[in-house]
Each structure stands twice: as C-alpha cells, then as structure tokens.
C-alpha cells in the first residue's frame, strides 16, 4: 500500500486543479492566456511549443501557463525560456540566468539574460511556435519587453511563429512620457524608439516591434480590458515580477525613483524612496511638492546620512511616473551639484542608456529646470504617440475578442535564378486594427464592434470563400453540426436566438472555444414584436446580445435580421400609426442600424430548410448544388434549431461539395461588411 501512496496523493492534487478553460472567472478582465485556451486553442493544437515565461505567467485563476500546457495532450511543450530574474523571478538584476534541464518537467530551460539574450538556433530547433506570457510593468527599461523583441528577431531568422498572450500595462495606457530612444543609444534597456513610459501592453508592443521585424506574429488580446484601466482595476492579484518589484506600489514608483543610474541619486525600499548622501530632505520635498506634480506628495525622510523623500501616491490615474522621475533628478541636481556620467565613442554610459539619449544628461549638467527638460523631448514624444496609434488594440470600451491579431508574412513564390542576386526586400509594415487618438484611446461609439478588429483578408482574384451560417439555435442539433465541422476542420458562424440560450450555455461556449463566430438574431424571433417599430426591434436585439454575452463573455459583432434585410413580412406587423408602404419599419430600422454601426449579414445561398420542417438531407444538398455556380463569395443560410436534423445529416456532403468547387471556409467578421449585401 505504501508504494502506491505517492500516486494517490498526486491523483488527489490533479483532481483539485481545474481543467483548462473551465474555471469561473471572477476578475474584471480575462488575460490573453485565458482567451487562448477558452477561444483560440485550435491555433496551437498539434504544435511543438516553446514558452517564454516566469512566475508571472499565471492565468486569471492563478493557474500556471506551464502547467496548463503540460496537461494539454494536443500540444507538446518542448522548451521553456526565462528572461532576466529567471524562471522563478528570484535572480538578482544583472546576474546571468543559466540554462538547465528542468528537474520536474524534464525539458530544457534556456536563460535569456546575461551573455545570451537572443535565442540561438539551437534553442529554437525543436519548436514550431514561441508563446510569450510575461507581465511587464510599463517601463521601457524593464527588460521583459527587450526579451520579447530579441526573441521576435530570432524567430524571424529561424522561420518560427510567435504568439504573445497579452497582459495589462499596470500603469494604464494613457500616460506616455519621457525621452524617446535615439538610434545610437539603443541597448537591452532601450530596444526601439519608445519613451520611458510607453503606455502600451506587451501585445501592443509586439505589434509595434513587428513593423521592422516581420515575423509571423499572433497576439491573443485580453477580454474586458480598456486603455485607461490600471492594474488595481483588473481584479487580478499582483505576482512580484522581480526581486525589487514585490507590489504595485513599487511598480508605480519604478520610474519615479529609479532613473539615477550612474549618479549619486538612488532609490530605496523597492522604489518608494529617492535621495542621495548629504541631500537636504526638507528642501528637496519643498521643491518637489511646489512643482504640483499630479497624484503624489513627497514626504521628507532621511536614510542614515542620506537625505531624500518618500513618495505618497494619492491618485494613481493622475500620477505620471516618468515625469516625476525627471523632476526628481533635476531638483536633486539643483540642490547638490554632481558630475553627470558621460558617454564616449567607445562606451555608452548607463545613464544615457536609461534615457535613450545623451541630451538629458547635458541639460541636467547645464542646470536646466525640469520644465525645460520635459519640453526638450515633447516633439519626439508627439511623433511616437502618432506612430503608435495603428498598433493599439484597446480603447475606451471593453473589448470582446472575436479574432486574434495576426500579422502573417506572405509566402514568396519561388523565383527563377537570375544572373544578378536580387536585393533583399524589407518586411511589410504591418497594419494592426484599432487606431486610437493622441492619448491612445479610441473615440467612443455606439458600434458593437468585434473586440480585436482583425485585419481583413481580401480574397485573391482566383480565390473563392464560403461562409457557412446557422440560424435559430442553439439546440440539440447544434452539437451534431459542431462535430461535423470539427471533423472537416471547417469554421462557421452561428446566429443565435437569445431565448434559446438558457440551458444551452455549454453549447455556446463550445462554439466559441472551437473557433467559430457568434452572431445575434434577436431575442424572441417574434416578427410581430420585433417589427412593430424601430425601438422594439433594437430592444429585442440587445436583449438577445446580453444573453449571449452573459453565457460566453462574447458580445456579438454581426447580426442577422429575422427574415433577412429584404423581408416583406415586416409590413404586416409594423405600427400603422407610424409607418406605411412608402416609409416602412424596415427603412427606419436600417437607418438606425447604420447610425449605431451594426453589421447585418444576409445570404446568397440557402439549403431551403427554412421553408418547412418536413424535408430531407438530399433535398438540402440539391438546393445547394442548384445555387452554387462560380460566385467568388457565398454566404450559405442553414438552420440548427431542434427540428433541423436533416441539415446536420447533410452537412458532411455539403462541405465536401463546396471543397470540390474550390471554396475555402471562413467565419464572418464585422470587418468584412461586403458579405452583408450578397443577398
């Protein structure tokens, strides 16, 4: 019995660990790792995965991404990669992170800090895709984002994919501040032309970095996150990201107190105090408090013979860490003149690496005021804010991911050999979806947009696309349809009737988890109710959307009119006191829908199952064959309500027939509105 005891204990532990994607989420947001395993798991199925992570790589239920992958039999976790501070986050700054074979996981753990910061070809040879799950702190000098950039370059060189599981910028995304890195001063703490406080998530940074790298990149966005959200609002627990960042107070104080590298100015108590030997604490506090920096008060405090101030942050949304750090340096230099570190042609000083330029050091040496120093980089900062717009994912409204962000490089056709070697072409500049305004937010709109606005794929002239759609579910027929779609590796779009959601929540979650799209189809599907007037219609549609969102966390981005956009049945039920044949309820609904930004989807092929519940599988297939000619795009209307078993029965042959006709299958996206008027 004793020899079986360890196995019994292990079995008990495993039963206590929630399976992938099944845990109830009580946080305000879902992380990229949650969204990957709940919605887009198919993107990693069958692949050899390398994971760049550390102790921060936990999902919203505090389950390690490493453990989730190790329990996932559809993928093979081949290697781990640890950034600065190591896999457990306990290695002190600057110390080499060594590589080793993990004693429990029995896979290599490659250190990416010290002499090897960029993965070597040997480190990447046994993987298909690199996953990145790291919690950044919002500062350009924090090297986790540098590891991301180095890794993307290595992956591009070795022909590997990169997938970033997005996480919050704990400082939020509205404050962008500090000098921007100049090319001669790039380093491991300044890998690109970004300021000290970049105001971007690690996923947005990956999109930004990729403009010059061109790796095959996928970013799995968060759900429910907004641009102005700070970490405290996410409901997530903070995992110490490194030895000196044990809590969120340290995160917010990092740039405010830690910019004095190479000078006598130093931070203390995990970035909550700043000062120097011989500095007058009270004069220092008076200068800083007199500057009226938003969101913070400075308390004079000596530490031994060193004078300084302790930061008391009282408004985390208004507090500007990088600007505070510049002011703290400038006032300290005024009170206690000290020589500034100088860069030479042979070596860049650490201070200039932190600043990304030598200009700040020169201005401090000249005794310039903090206001003058801040104004010196405002033009460069404005250029960065403009440049970053098209790489932003999040805006003012919480997003609901419908598709990941993908930047796939086009495969180049083989070229015949030429006498002269062609010049290498530059990677295409990627165009992520959701631009913001100057402070990184998007204009608020009524439009129920998809969470991520994936880049629309324009069909090639010779390419044919089929969109399979199913209306009026979910029901007991829907799982049969899902089984067929999974067998044939085809994705479809389901237009859901809200009243059918209760009791079928698991089916809806399966639809989302298996990579299909959800659309709205009203709540009641009662023509008499929805087409009485414009207000009744949208109230019913919104009620249905709320039911879908409550069950899945996904708010529909596309919709279908009951009966289609050209129906005449609405004339029968419209309020005669408000509408007539010249001014119909459908006209009013369409006008309002345009104002609200709704994307309604019709069809141009139907299997005929809407006409009657007494039909055969053979009849549905015959209807498809009769209507499919050589159209470039077809939207196929079918139904998955409980009386539509023949549709499920015919589906395998329908899919096979469309494949024979040269069609590939896609889900409907709001970014492809051309399919809304194919009827």
Place of tokens 């704990």: 170
Which residues, in sequence order, are bridge partners of residue 471?
A: 495, 639
* 541 half-sphere exposure, CB direction, 13 A CA radius: 27
What are the start-end ranges of the E strands in 333-449? 405-407
Is residue 445 within 8 Å of 433, Cβ to Cβ? Answer: no
3-state SS track over 493-556: EEEECHHHCCCCHHHHHHHHHCCCEEEECCCCCCHHHHCCCHHHHHHHHHHHHHHHHHHHCCCC
Beta-carbon contacts of residue 493 (< 8 Å; ≥ 6 apart) = 467, 468, 469, 470, 516, 517, 518, 519, 558, 601, 667, 668
313 φψ region: left (φ > 0), alpha (ψ -120 to 50), beta (else)? beta
Is residue 597 within 8 Å of 449, Cβ to Cβ? Answer: yes
| Other beta carbons less than 10 A from residue 120's beta carbon | 11
Q: What SS3 class is residue 344?
A: coil
Is residue 344 within 8 Å of 292, Cβ to Cβ? Answer: no
* 334 half-sphere exposure, CB direction, 13 A CA radius: 16
What is the 3-state composition of the chain as percent helix, strand, coil, each rounded to the nearest 5?
35, 15, 50
- The question of whether 639 is a catalytic residue gets the answer yes
| Other beta carbons less than 10 A from residue 269's beta carbon | 16
Question: Kind and range of the H or E element at 313?
Answer: strand 306-313
Angle between helices 505-513 and 534-552 (to 10 degrees): 80
C-alpha to C-alpha distances, 606 to 119, 496, 569, nearest whole angstrom: 52, 17, 19
Distance (Å, whole) CA 92 – CA 95: 6
Q: What is the DSSP string of 273-298?
A: EEEEET--HHHHHHHHHHTT-TTEEE
Bridge-based pairing of strands 493-496 and 663-665 is unpaired
C-alpha to C-alpha distances, 375 to 13, 175, 370, nearest whole angstrom: 58, 16, 9
Distance (Å, whole) CA 656 – CA 654: 5
Distance, CA of 151 to chain centre = 18
Is residue 605 within 8 Å of 635, Cβ to Cβ? Answer: yes
Tokens of 397: 């409204």
Exposed/middle/buried for residue 417 (C-beta within 10 Å: 0-12, 13-18, 19+): exposed
Place of tokens 């960065």: 384
- The question of whether 76 is a catalytic residue gets the answer no
> 34, 380, 471, 540: which one is catalytic?
471
Positive or negative, the CA dihedral 277, 278, 282, 286 is negative
Distance (Å, whole) CA 665 – CA 471: 17
Place of tokens 């009827």: 679
Is residue 324 within 8 Å of 315, Cβ to Cβ? Answer: no
Q: What is the DSSP string of 14-40?
A: HHHSPPTT-S---SSSB-HHHHHHHH-
> 270, 521, 525, 639: which one is catalytic?
639
Is residue 309 within 8 Å of 288, Cβ to Cβ? Answer: yes
Q: What SS3 class is residue 465?
A: strand
User: Cα(first)–Cα(last) distance of the chain, in Å?
Assistant: 70
Catalytic residues: 471, 639
């Amino acid at each position: 019995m004793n020899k079986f005891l360890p196995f019994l204990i292990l079995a008990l532990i495993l039963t206590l660990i929630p399976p992938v994607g099944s845990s109830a989420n009580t946080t305000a947001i879902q992380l990229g790792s949650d969204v990957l395993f709940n919605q887009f798991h198919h993107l990693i199925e069958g692949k050899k995965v390398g994971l760049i992570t550390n102790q921060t790589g936990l999902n919203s239920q505090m389950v390690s991404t490493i453990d989730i992958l190790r329990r996932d039999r559809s993928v093979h976790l081949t290697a781990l990669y640890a950034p600065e501070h190591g896999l457990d986050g306990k290695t002190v700054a600057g110390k080499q992170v060594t590589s080793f074979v993990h004693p429990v996981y029995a896979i290599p753990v490659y250190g990416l800090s010290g002499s090897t910061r960029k993965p070597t070809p040997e480190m990447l040879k046994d993987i298909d895709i690199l996953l990145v799950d790291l919690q950044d702190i919002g500062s350009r000098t924090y090297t986790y984002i540098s590891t991301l950039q180095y890794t993307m370059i290595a992956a591009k060189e070795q022909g590997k994919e990169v997938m970033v599981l997005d996480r919050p910028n704990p400082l939020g995304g509205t404050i962008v501040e500090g000098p921007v890195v100049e090319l001669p001063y790039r380093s491991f703490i300044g890998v690109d032309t970004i300021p000290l406080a970049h105001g971007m998530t690690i996923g947005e940074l990956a999109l930004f970095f990729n403009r010059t790298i061109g790796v095959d990149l996928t970013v799995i966005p968060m759900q429910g996150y907004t641009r102005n959200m700070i970490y405290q609002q996410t409901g997530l627990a903070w995992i110490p990201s490194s030895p000196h960042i044990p809590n969120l107070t340290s995160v917010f104080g990092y740039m405010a107190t830690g910019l004095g590298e190479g000078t006598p100015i130093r931070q203390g108590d995990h970035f909550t105090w700043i000062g120097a030997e011989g500095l007058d604490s009270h004069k220092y506090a008076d200068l800083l408090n007199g500057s009226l920096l938003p969101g913070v008060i400075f308390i004079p405090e000596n530490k031994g013979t060193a004078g300084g101030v302790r930061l008391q942050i009282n408004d985390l949304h208004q507090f500007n860490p990088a600007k505070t750090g510049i002011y703290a340096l400038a006032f300290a230099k005024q009170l206690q003149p000290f020589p500034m570190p100088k860069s030479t042609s042979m070596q860049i000083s650490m201070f200039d690496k932190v600043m990304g330029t030598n200009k700040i050091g020169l201005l401090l040496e000249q005794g310039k005021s903090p206001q003058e120093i801040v104004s010196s980089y405002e033009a460069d900062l404005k250029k960065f804010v403009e440049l970053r717009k098209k790489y932003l994912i999040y805006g003012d409204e919480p997003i609901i991911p419908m598709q990941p962000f993908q930047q796939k490089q086009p495969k180049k056709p083989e070229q015949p050999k030429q006498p002269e070697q062609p010049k290498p072409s530059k990677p295409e500049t990627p165009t992520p979806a959701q631009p913001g305004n100057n402070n990184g937010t998007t204009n608020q709109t009524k439009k129920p947009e998809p969470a991520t606005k994936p880049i629309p794929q324009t069909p090639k002239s010779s390419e044919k696309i089929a969109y399979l759609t199913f209306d009026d579910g979910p029901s007991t027929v829907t799982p049969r349809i899902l089984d067929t779609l999974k067998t044939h590796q085809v994705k479809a779009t389901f237009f859901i009737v809200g009243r059918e959601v209760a009791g079928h929540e698991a089916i809806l979650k399966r639809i989302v988890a298996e990579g299909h799209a959800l659309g709205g189809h009203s709540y009641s599907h009662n023509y008499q109710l929805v087409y009485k007037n414009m207000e009744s219609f949208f109230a019913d549609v919104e009620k249905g959307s709320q039911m879908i969102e409550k069950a899945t966390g996904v708010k529909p981005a596309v919709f279908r009119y009951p009966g289609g956009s050209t129906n005449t049945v609405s004339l029968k039920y419209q309020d005669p006191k408000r509408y007539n044949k010249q001014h119909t309820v459908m006209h009013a609904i369409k006008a309002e829908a345009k104002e609200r930004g709704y994307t309604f989807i019709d069809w141009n092929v139907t299997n005929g199952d809407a006409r009657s519940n007494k039909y055969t599988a053979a009849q549905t297939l015959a209807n498809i064959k009769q209507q499919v000619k050589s159209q470039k795009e077809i939207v196929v209307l079918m139904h998955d309500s409980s009386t539509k078993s023949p549709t499920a029965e015919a589906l395998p042959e329908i899919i096979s027939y469309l494949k024979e006709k040269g069609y590939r299958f896609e889900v409907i996206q709001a970014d492809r509105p051309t399919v809304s008027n194919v009827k």
